[in-house]
Amino acid sequence: MRFGERLTKVVAERGPLCVGIDPHPGLLASWGLPRDASGLERFTLTAVEALGDSVAVVKPQSAFFESYGSKGVAVLERAIAELRAAGALVLLDVKRGDIGSTMAAYAAAYLDDASPLAADAVTVSPYLGFGSLSPAIDAATASGRGVFVLALTSNPEGASVQRASTADGVSVAQSVVDAAAARNAGVTPLGDVGLVVGATLGDLGVDLSDLHGPVLAPGFGAQGATVADLRRLFGEELRGVLPTTSRDVLRHGPETATLRSAVARVKDSLAS
């Protein structure tokens, strides 16, 4: 089963919400946990228990695990395995982007069945040229996984690159959208190449009508984006859009029950 088909199925069952697992030092402290590998593990496994059987997509941020070295990566490996066993799709937020054999090695690390870090999808950066992502996209397609390509991010620095015009007179962001759309052409119900488009953007400025793939929309909730913002940017139906939050849910820890209640409230807000 291709990634787009698996994503469509789980969203139909659980709703479109994507929740990030971002073990920020401040969150560990607010949960009363030490800033070490043991605190990381307790934080992560509590989040996995609360999210794995109810949220469609869970997005661990790899950097927060890598910062603890091999012990942190081991926690990440366990989280990926347990989330997938609970029925959630795991979108590993790694934002990798490189060329040739190095990109192929990243693909082997995150998109190959033989790797303990293999997730259902990963985030990737196209700013060495969209074609440099081919090893990752090809590996994802071959193994029934997906990629989410950075297109329009909400950080102020991003606009100088993403809104710049190419030699063809279109924005860099639109060229990324068009390249993703070409990869998704003819695939049903959704293609395997998604985009990352910030939910807090003032205006979209790109045409997503031919994308035929999922859109990860970070910034929902605590970062300021509302359901109205999502509909303004992506249309009333929000088909294929994955509103993404982290702090809005995780700040309610460390009790599993309160985390689950927070998830239910956010899901209800999306359905209203």
Domains and CATH numbers, the chain: 3-271 (3.20.20.70)
What DSSP string describes 151-207? EE-SSGGGHHHHTSB-TTSSBHHHHHHHHHHHHHTT-SS--SEEEEE-TT-S---S-
Separation CA 147–CA 212 (nearest Å): 14
| Beta bridge mates, 96 | 124
Q: What is the mean pLDDT of the chain?
A: 96
| pTM: predicted TM-score of the whole model, two decimal places | 0.97
Q: Give catalytic residue positions.
A: 95
Separation CA 32–CA 19 (nearest Å): 21
| Beta bridge mates, 243 | 217
Separation CA 135–CA 155 (nearest Å): 27
Predicted confidence band of residue 237 (pLDDT cuts 50, 70, 90): confident
Task: Write phi, then psi, for 228 (nearest 5 degrees).
Answer: -60, -40
Task: Write phi, then psi, for 5 (nearest 5 degrees).
Answer: -70, -45
Separation CA 143–CA 110 (nearest Å): 11
pLDDT of residue 79: 98
pLDDT of residue 143: 97
Segment 4-25 mean pLDDT: 97
| pLDDT beyond 90 at 204 | yes
pLDDT of residue 271: 85
Cα–Cα separations (whole angstroms), residue 165 to 80, 130, 168, 174: 38, 15, 8, 9
